[in-house]
Structure 1
């Protein structure tokens, strides 16, 4: 019965969000309805991902969810880049990274920790994730530090080169973690139980859920400008928190569901893997795409606020996950840091 009610809610909310958007209802109502729809769509994506993970394994399932979950951010950012709104893109990328590390992972640790006293995952995977996160911080910090001494053309060239290096590093990480060292970085075998759907149906539903996330995200983003002006929100807060939370809705649901089923390896792969994918792949790809779709490339120079926020998020996440075990209190710590950053970004 609960399953039927969920799918009824999914269908009704999605259709209502579409009608509200295309019928041009009041912007605030469009925003609220789209938010409700994303909650259901994210839940649908989480169920589809869990079913795929039954056949693909926890690490691959987490990677697929991170990839499909980031589709919304990539689509949103693509249109922002097309319009030349580079600073908003950077703010949204910053928000997506810290949102995954602090909010998504924090909620997962907290929810899973309430049910299980302590949860564990592969320590070697945690170590490699930490190294990659630090690489992401270095790749943002160094260009920002030296950008003042470079011309516009030199900054653009530097951004393109760094972007290519990060993409290569990410692709080699996938090869390392899923081919040459797959057995070393995999968690111990976990009992999955029965999958909700067949393998083929699970894949179809995963693609369908991703498309629904993209649609609802686009409808929601279309209302943000007016909502921002109506409630007096800053561009930095909107880009780094509102858009990021909206884009991360899929990961929120899926990661928490995995943690509550004691699949912390998959939950960590969703949260941290998604941040790594944004920092090492999505952001560099957007920099390269900007050269072709806007005529002038977006540089990789982030503001001091953005770099500080990412650095803090990486530091505490590394500290908490480096031993390969988690509990509910560590989840609260991550969420507290996220709230502190949210307050500061709101006031700035």
Structure 2
């Protein structure tokens, strides 16, 4: 489902957000809050939750693309990136505030899973899909270099350095260190956004592929899409906590490791960007795909980490940040390979396969550490 200026708004684009809100109200009224109701009712709610939640996500993609067609690049990709990051922050914060499901490592596991999924799974899939159809695709090297450079610094500060500080034992920062890293992360992300949207917009746009991006939409349709996008995102935020309950029950029943919860949450919140990025690659707009994919990884750290820091400090909740040695190796490998992939300005299917192999390794080690 993609936005088109000439087509009428599909029924599911407005029905799914409203259905998601109605489902939340109905499920909460029968006792589905922090735990599933017992018996057949709980099973039925768990089964219905999946299509309702995914319907809201697809509707959010449609409306975000409608607005993006009007705003143009790189602002269009930022709309979806920021929207998905809001979902991520709300979900992590809600789980952190829950006594039943709270985990000091959830933020780390989710952020790491987002980075690995974006830089390897999503980027690899986009490169492979585009390479199979067009043999080679091009993008702007300065823009890709900016993404990777900022990502290396952010990932090191938030996921690696906590293992090597001496003020507090273990993979954690002290309160003062946490505040400092959160502040510099926000400053760095703000500087990147200034470069992307004001000072060097041309780094993130390929003019030949930008033709036709500014489509004609009526202001009424844009206003309606903006409202429905807000409704869809609110519904996703509300249902994500219930989704986390179902995921946690399934993980415990399957005996899977705790990081699996972070992985599933990451995949859920990345669906809107993932769909839009793959669609762009199929249309030979790899630059847009990279803006979505790599931009979401930066937004995850640049916006999610400071927000989670505020929640942790306000609630006096411990925050585990440093990665295990095996995960640190995978992160370093990902950043190294990404540097090589985005250094030439052109990609082919080999780069896609390489990133997908790293992602498959990450998935395997998540379930079999």
1:315 aligns with 2:336: yes
Q: What is aligned with 1:96?
A: 114
Deviation of 1:79 after TM superposition, in Å, equals 1.4
Deviation of 1:200 after TM superposition, in Å, equals 2.4
Q: What is aligned with 1:120?
A: 138
Deviation of 1:169 after TM superposition, in Å, equals 0.7
Flag structure 2 segments of 5+ consecutive residues without an equivalent.
1-6, 31-36
Note the alpha carbon deviations across 1:309-342, whole angstroms, 9 max, x for none.
3333322233222222233443333222111111
Q: Distance in 2 between matches of 1:8 and 1:45?
A: 10
Deviation of 1:253 after TM superposition, in Å, equals 1.5
Q: Distance in 1 between matches of 2:250 and 2:74?
A: 38
Q: What is aligned with 1:81?
A: 96
Contact 2:107/2:308 (<8 A) preserved: no
| Aligned pair partner of 2:78 in 63, 71, 84 | 63
Contact 1:137/1:311 (<8 A) preserved: no
1:327 aligns with 2:348: yes
1:295 aligns with 2:310: no
Flag structure 1 segments of 5+ consecutive residues without an equivalent.
none
Deviation of 1:8 after TM superposition, in Å, equals 8.8
1:233 aligns with 2:256: yes
Q: What is aligned with 1:176?
A: 195
Q: Distance in 2 between matches of 1:32 and 1:316?
A: 39
Which structure: greater helix fraction?
1
1:216 aligns with 2:247: no
Aligned counterparts, 1:1-348, within 5 A: 4=10, 6-7=12-13, 10=16, 14=20, 18=24, 19=26, 23=30, 24=37, 30-83=45-98, 85-140=103-158, 143-147=161-165, 149-151=166-168, 155-188=174-207, 189-192=210-213, 194=215, 198-239=221-262, 241-292=263-314, 294-296=315-317, 298=319, 300-348=321-369
Deviation of 1:202 after TM superposition, in Å, equals 3.2
Note the alpha carbon deviations across 1:24-45, whole angstroms, 9 max, x for none.
4565654443333343333222
Contact 2:18/2:231 (<8 A) preserved: no
Identify the range of structure 1 (17-26 vs 275-284) with the bigger mean alpha-carbon deviation.
17-26
Contact 1:13/1:36 (<8 A) preserved: no
Aligned residues: 345
Measured on the aligned residues, the alpha-carbon RMSD in Å equals: 3.0
Q: Distance in 1 between matches of 2:88 and 2:275?
A: 16
Q: Distance in 2 between matches of 1:151 and 1:21?
A: 41
TM-score by length of 2: 0.82
